[in-house]
Amino acid sequence: TQAFLDRIAKHSQLNAFISVTAEEALKEAAAADQRISQGKASPLTGIPLAHKDIFCTQGVKTSCGSKILDNFVAPYSATVVERLAAAGMVSLGKTNLDEFAMGSSNESSFYGPVKNPWNAQAVPGGSSGGSAAAVAARLVPAATGTDTGGSIRQPAAFCGITGIKPTYGRVSRWGMIAYASSLDQGGPMARSAEDCALLLKEMAGFDQRDSTSIQRCVPDYPALLQEPLQGLKIGLPKEYFGSDLNPEMKACLDTAVKELEKLGAQVLEVSLPLTRLAIPAYYVIAPAEASSNLSRFDGVRFGYRCEDPKDLEDLYKRSRSEGFGPEVKRRILIGTYALSEGFYDAYYRKAQQLRRMITEDFQKTLNEVDLLLAPTTPTPAFDLGSKTSDPVQMYLEDIYTLGVNLAGLPAMSVPAGQVSGRPVGMQLIGNHFDEGRLLNVAHQFQ
């Protein structure tokens, strides 16, 4: 624990952490030592980790990357935080993220952007950019992330680490600050599929405090890692390998495919014709849900409150306009508009219909093959500042990740080479509750 705390301090220029809880961490480490000496340890006991600052942590600031929660100390811990602590893991602190997890580059954080450890000019990806950079720079062996439209997989890809977004409902959302509730899902980010398997085993499982949590037993993910890949059918969705995809990245993925064939997998081309429509569908549904979820930040019960409000309306208005950053305001406006009378049918209902069609496409394809293989992103990590002036360019970066969230499927990103010193991520997409299979394939590949 001390060695990792030292590394965090030494590499503070990465800006990966919002809070470092050194004192508490050393106490937890001492408790873990004791537990080990009493023979009550689990494989994760004493292993340090960091939590994305979207998970509530009792007694520790939980900012969600926003000025509006800069003074918020959570009164309770998220289920994920509790479960990993119960396994004996030692939390070193809270990692940086895009404000309210809205972004693909970590540049919308109130606490400033995170740097990509591979190249200081490059973004680490987002929104779980702090978690990805911290693991990649070896500031911590593992971290939690959340993925509403790619926020575990895309930063994992940009930073050359492994991350899995589980099936919707697999991991409890209780205590995870809501962005778009029908899409949000927490998951682990670590160096390998094996580490992710160990973490997911603890994180997953039914929680009666989350109404969308699914009551279904959790497989022993680490035990599944050694399964042979003989006869496994892997589909390559041709729409994910079109002209949007950087050609050098495509070459990396071609090599990965050959590797998997050598391991016994059978690879065939499949089609997901609605791939492009995931962007418009997601960027209506997610802001719509966000506009509703974020209405709780009104300066009354918690978080930032403006100075000397004239009246209640002034208090709401100024607390929110001073507390939220520009990307969050943009999404609240889009969402409120899409849900408003007269526009609901044209935008929100249409987006929901598209969501259903995209889900059906995935289902059809996943009846033909065991899993899908695709790039995680169309390009390697882009430069800091290169997309901040054009939100649509930023949204287009999410083309390969959003569909999975709309369909509620599990998916992971696995390192698959580099282009000019910037990591490339290979995405594996499975059927509902097939996390074990994804981790197995990733582990055999690694």
Nearer to ligand GLN, 298 or 398 (CB): 398
Nearer to ligand GLN, 102 or 199 (CB): 102
Interacting span for ligand GLN (CB under 6 A) from 97-105, 272-280, 296-304, 344-352? 97-105
Q: Applying CB under 6 A, does 53 fall inside the site for ligand GLN?
A: no
Nearer to ligand GLN, 182 or 266 (CB): 182
Q: Applying CB under 6 A, does 179 fall inside the site for ligand GLN?
A: yes
Spatial distance between the Cα atoms of 74 and 93, rounded to a whole number of angstroms: 13
Catalytic residue list contains 151: yes
Among 109, 151, 192, 365, binds ligand GLN (CB under 6 A): 151
Q: Applying CB under 6 A, does 150 fall inside the site for ligand GLN?
A: yes
Q: Applying CB under 6 A, does 382 fall inside the site for ligand GLN?
A: no
Nearer to ligand GLN, 129 or 141 (CB): 129
Confirm if 70 and 111 have CB atoms less than 8 A apart: no
Q: Tell me how long the chain is.
A: 446
DSSP 114: P
Confirm if 265 and 152 have CB atoms less than 8 A apart: no
Q: Applying CB under 6 A, does 289 fall inside the site for ligand GLN?
A: no
Largest CA distance in the chain: 70
Q: Applying CB under 6 A, does 149 fall inside the site for ligand GLN?
A: yes
| Structure tokens belonging to residue 435 | 């996390």
Q: Applying CB under 6 A, does 103 fall inside the site for ligand GLN?
A: yes
Q: Applying CB under 6 A, does 104 fall inside the site for ligand GLN?
A: yes
Interacting span for ligand GLN (CB under 6 A) from 142-150, 220-228, 231-239, 381-389? 142-150
Footprint of ligand GLN on 184-243 (CB under 6 A): none
What's the closest the beta carbon of residue 187 comes to ligand GLN, in angstroms? Answer: 11
User: 């929100």: which residue's tokens?
Assistant: 348
List Cβ<8 Å contacts ≥24 apart for 293-298. 293/178, 293/179, 293/180, 293/181, 294/100, 294/324, 294/328, 294/332, 297/68, 297/69, 297/323, 297/324
Q: Is the dihedral of CA 101, 102, 105, 108 positive or negative?
A: negative
Spatial distance between the Cα atoms of 148 and 165, rounded to a whole number of angstroms: 9
Catalytic annotation, residues: 52, 127, 151
Residues in touch with ligand GLN (CB under 6 A): 101-104, 127, 147-151, 179, 286, 398
